[in-house]
Amino acid sequence: MTVLLSVENLTQRFGGLVAVDDVSLAVDEGSIFSLIGPNGAGKTTLFNLISAIFPPSEGRIMFGERALHKASTHQLAEFGIGRTFQNLAVFHHATVVQNLLVGLHHRLKANILTAPFFWGRPRDEEIRARRSVEEIIDFLEFEHLRDVPVGQLSYGLQKRVELGRALAIAPKLLLLDEMVSGMNSEETEDIARFILDIREEFGITIMMVEHDMGVVMDISDRVAVLDHGQLICVGSPADVSQNPDVIKAYLGKK
């Protein structure tokens, strides 16, 4: 398979704390890759490094031919990387449609001279953007909520809106940070189904940080385990669940 994302000898220090310690891993195109580990293992730091929120102390991150360790966060959408966050990052007073349109902003090419006149390129772009949003709304099954302010929705539906906004970027890689955290069992099952459908229907590669072991083991192709910033295991869900180092560090001693 083709490697879409590679992390090579990545290290991140915060003063005397080594949050990520010489980590190397590869995410295959079209796969679902999960990153797990106990609290403080360095998962979110690794995600933030991939998201170009800050540069690594050492190592490099390659997204195809693009060097993410040298990129800026605002370039990620242009590169084809979408992300959700553990803590909701939606616009509560805006409607579902308006939130999703934000994800399309980087795809609109009209400038300050042409945008005020709703004809030609601005008109065509607006029509395409609205069509894309409606397709996402239909895919995520909240047609009846399209004009509802997001702040009025349940937590689970707000997370679904955030997922939709990330999809609006039309990403090649989707980074999901604790997507089912705080959800009930029905909402969790819905999100797991959507993740599988996103991969199958759109061919989007998915990398996720997740604590729900049921979701991780059910839908992942490969799983990487961090502990104290170090990578202790990478493999299939079955291999990881039987690894003695993983059992000791995270899943619990037997």
pLDDT score of 12 more than 90: yes
Q: Give the per-residue pLDDT at 111.
A: 42
Cα distances (angstroms) measured from residue 49 to each of 7, 29, 148: 10, 19, 34
pLDDT band at 74 (very low <50, low <70, confident <90, very high): confident
- 20, 221 in Cβ contact below 8 A? no
The DSSP line for 108-145 is ----TTTTTS-SSHHHHHHHHHHHHHHHHHHHTT-GGG
Mean pLDDT calculated for residue range 23-30? 97
pLDDT score of 49 more than 60: yes
Q: Is 146 helix (H, G, I), strand (E, B) or coil?
A: coil
Question: Which residues, listed in sequence order, are joined to residue 18 by a DSSP beta bridge?
Answer: 13
Mean pLDDT calculated for residue range 23-40? 94
- Give CA–CA dist 150/216, Å, rounded: 28
- Give CA–CA dist 30/151, Å, rounded: 33
Interval 135-187: pLDDT, tens: 999 999 989 999 999 999 999 999 999 999 999 888 999 999 999 988 999 99
Q: Give the per-residue pLDDT at 117.
A: 46
Mean pLDDT calculated for residue range 197-225? 95
Mean pLDDT taken over the chain = 88
Structure-block tokens of residue 121:
């390129």
Helices (H), 140-223: 155-168, 185-202, 213-219
Q: Which residue segments constitute the domains of the chain, with CATH numbers given?
A: 1-80+171-254 (3.40.50.300), 89-170 (no CATH)
